[in-house]
Amino acid sequence: MKMNQTRQKFLNYYQEKKHVIIPSSSLVPENDATTLFTSSGMQPLVPYLMGEKHPEGTRLANSQKCFRSNDIEEVGDNRHTTFFEMLGNWSLGDYGKKEQLEWVWGFFTKEMGIAPEKLYITVFAGDETTGVGRDEEAIKIWQEIFAREGMEARVGERIRTYGAEKNWWSRSGEPEKMPEGEIGGPDSEIFYDFGAELGIHERSKWKDEECHPNCDCGRFIEIGNSVFIEYVKTAKGFEPLAQKNVDYGGGLGRVMMAVEKKQDVFETSAFQLLREEMEKITGRKYEGGAEEEKVGWRVIMDHMPAGGM
Ligand code: SER
């Protein structure tokens, strides 16, 4: 399945679940001085996550164009891009964790046809800075989901817990970096496993360490993140928001890596037009080329779409 069909399937899936499809906002944020560019689908929705009524209701979904300048130094590897589309759905004080995690699972396993064995989960381990404990509720829901598939999802194996550096989300990043008034919360990410049999980890510079979903070796790729935006940082610490929200985002290019089983996002249909155009101009092929040469191709393929926005 190609990128355009995948995007449409996602939007149809959430429309069937009573979400209103909203347009992608401008890459340059309006009425938001916290960042230079729109870097996630939730950013234009912050006032509504904080309780203001959204004109389209409490269930929203879209595909938002995003730009993350902080990833620019990483561009050139197989998966980092500064500009990307993010598939997103939101509950503005409507449904909770159970529906969200069930729906993420349904999207990837039923709509995208990804085998359950290829999927791994991470959840928040809890920490003292936020005073928020380990996400037992998410663990329980995931274990029930895997049990239905005939799989036992043990914590430390199929489900991994990480601290705030990996499983807490806010626009500003980790809890310490959040200014007063900023909203955020624990999250649960879903990873696609390219497979131990490929020996990706063993050939990487992390080969002497244990491999796990957040390992940088590239065996696993994060394809979606469900953030439970339930807290606001105040002078007194973290306090629960009156409105409990869900903020889901999945980079469309990353999703295509799992759907098309490509270890390189630049080989997916997300970059097909640009890749083919560059191949025409240069008379060379991207796939099968030398790794050093690919770095230049990737930088151009990444920077072109953002420049055109
Ligand atoms: N805001 C979260 C992210 O950008 C999920 O949408 O990853």
Question: Residue 287 has what DSSP assignment?
Answer: T
Atom of ligand 1 nearest to the CA of 42: 1
**Model pLDDT for residues 148-194, shown as the tens digit of each residue:** 999 999 999 999 999 999 999 999 999 999 999 999 999 999 999 99
CB atoms within 10 A of CB 115: 10
Q: From CA 155, how far away is CA 218, in angstroms rounded?
A: 22
Q: Choose which residue among 25, 100, 168, 169 to substitute to test ligand 1 binding: the one with the highest number of ligand atoms within 8 A of its C-beta.
A: 169
Report the pLDDT averaged over residues 87-98. Answer: 98
Q: From CA 92, how far away is CA 242, in angstroms rounded?
A: 11
Kindly give the interhelix angle for 272-282 and 291-308, rounded to the nearest 10 degrees.
120
Atom of ligand 1 nearest to the CA of 40: 4
Q: Which pLDDT belongs to residue 308?
A: 63
Phi, psi of 55 (to 5 degrees): -60, -25
Q: Nearest residue CA, atom 4 of ligand 1?
A: 40
Mean pLDDT, the chain, whole residue set: 95
For residue 248 and ligand 1, the question of a CB distance below 6 A is answered with yes
- What is the model's pTM? 0.95
Question: Residue 117 has what DSSP assignment?
Answer: G
Name all contacts of 255-262 with Cβ < 8 Å and 24+ positions apart: 255/6, 255/87, 255/112, 255/223, 255/224, 256/3, 256/6, 257/79, 257/192, 257/221, 257/223, 258/108, 258/112, 258/114, 258/118, 258/192, 258/221, 258/223, 259/1, 259/6, 259/112, 259/114, 260/1, 261/194
